[in-house]
């Protein structure tokens, strides 16, 4: 990538700060305060990607495998994930979310969407249009 201009560096800095502040505020809209942000993230990954091994979850969540093993154990103790033998490799397990986890995530999404929609109601039509256009680009950045 080419060297960024001063205006581009300012925009990158502004975007970073805004995304961090918005993310922090969204985290406060949690349904279940007993779940850590990391645990919620793992459940969200299982929703998006389906069942996975702890190693796959560790890679997707950018944590070390031993950390993921502990996270999975805590989620299992709370009844939010189940562990089953891997269909092709009996040395491994596959982690799946439970219906209880799906309900928590659905309520969390509903609550966060309502909060964000309330914020967005203060935008002008032009700002709202630009935000709708930017959403797929932000999603792409989040997946990179």
pTM, full prediction: 0.74
Position 4 in a domain: no
Q: Which domain does 116 fall in, by range? A: 27-143
Over residues 61-100, the pLDDT tens digits come to 999 999 999 999 999 999 999 999 988 888 889 999 999 9
Over residues 8-35, the pLDDT tens digits come to 999 999 999 999 999 889 888 877 778 8
- Per the structure, the count of domains in the chain is 1
CATH code for the domain of 71: 1.10.10.10
CA–CA distance, 24 with 63 (Å, rounded to integer): 20
Query: Greatest CA span in the chain, whole angstroms?
Result: 56
């Amino acid at each position: 990538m080419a060297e960024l201009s001063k205006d581009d560096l300012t925009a990158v800095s502004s975007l970073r700060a805004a995304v961090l502040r918005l993310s922090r505020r969204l985290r406060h809209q949690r349904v279940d305060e007993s779940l850590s942000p990391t645990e919620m993230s793992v459940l969200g990954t299982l929703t998006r990607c389906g069942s996975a091994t702890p190693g796959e979850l560790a890679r997707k969540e950018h944590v070390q495998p031993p950390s993921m093993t502990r996270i999975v154990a805590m989620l299992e103790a709370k009844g939010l994930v189940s562990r089953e033998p891997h269909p092709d490799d009996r040395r491994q397990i596959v982690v799946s979310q439970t219906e209880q986890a799906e309900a928590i995530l659905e309520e969390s999404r509903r609550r966060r969407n309502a909060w964000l929609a309330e914020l967005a109601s203060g935008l002008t039509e032009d700002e709202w249009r630009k935000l709708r256009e930017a959403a797929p680009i932000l999603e792409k950045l989040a997946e990179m």
